[in-house]
Structure 1
């Protein structure tokens, strides 16, 4: 279990993770909050199924796209889907989400979702996000 401080309130990252799993159809999601070694930061690694994401794209439009353009569209869509986690986290947190890897062999896109206490500030959130992104597989 990992606990995160938001203001003067302690929240359980596992509880939030379970709620997200019940509500959002990700291929997988993993709580990597402990890896941050911060008591004010939630971090989830999210896996999207490329086939499921393609269902949200217009079939005609997909035919006209190059492979690189299609991957860009899928990464952007994965960003949007990852940001939906915001709806399931407590008030008082600011968030960052980013899709960082298209895994052709696994047919999935990897994304990260980070939430920190608003008191941390946006500049510090960017620093945390950069450090987390450098450390992810």
Structure 2
């Protein structure tokens, strides 16, 4: 989908490609159209638990000793952190918002909503879009 990015037009497929080539995230769905805005790029994406486990082990966590609830919190926080770091590879003057919303036990992944816009749109509007998108995912 093409979106208005201040004075430019961006293709969400190009952003999808950047994310998939430069991170461990997989894009589940392009949600840009669901944002109901012409200036937002949004994705439902996922990251494999095994990747998160390796990062946590490298940081000194003993995965086997952690309480399941605490470990799930760590997964969610780490997925958010990794998704936020994508901002450095996005087009200049981008702002992003991410929210890890689900641990899918069957697929062994954490699901994340990602939204991006030009910084002139503002944090409040982007936060509102993410909240709206979260109501439409499962």
- Rounded Cα–Cα distance in structure 2 between residues aligned with 1:118 and 1:60: 36
1:119 is displaced (CA, Å) by: 2.1
Work out whether residues 44 and 113 of structure 1, in 8 Å CA contact, stay in contact via their aligned partners in 2. Answer: yes
Please give the TM-score of this superposition, normalised by the length of structure 1. Answer: 0.89
Work out whether residues 46 and 82 of structure 1, in 8 Å CA contact, stay in contact via their aligned partners in 2. Answer: no
Which residue number in structure 1 is paired with residue 125 of structure 2? Answer: 124
Please give the TM-score of this superposition, normalised by the length of structure 2. Answer: 0.88
1:38-77 maps to which residues of 2 (within 5 A)?
Answer: 38-58=37-57, 61-77=62-78
In structure 2, runs of 5+ residues without a counterpart are none
1:85 is displaced (CA, Å) by: 2.1
Kindly report the root-mean-square deviation, in angstroms, between the aligned alpha carbons of the 2 structures. 1.6
Q: Encode CA deviations 1:66-118: one digit per residue, 9 max, x unaligned.
A: 10001111111111111232123212221101111011121110001111222
1:23 is displaced (CA, Å) by: 1.6
Which residue number in structure 1 is paired with residue 16 of structure 2? Answer: 17
- Rounded Cα–Cα distance in structure 2 between residues aligned with 1:34 and 1:88: 22
In structure 1, runs of 5+ residues without a counterpart are none
1:62-101 maps to which residues of 2 (within 5 A)?
Answer: 62-101=63-102
Residues 65 and 127 from structure 1, CA distance in 2 versus in 1: closer, same or farther, beyond 3 angstroms? same
Count the aligned residue pairs. 135
Residues 61 and 11 from structure 1, CA distance in 2 versus in 1: closer, same or farther, beyond 3 angstroms? same
Which residue number in structure 1 is paired with residue 32 of structure 2? Answer: 33
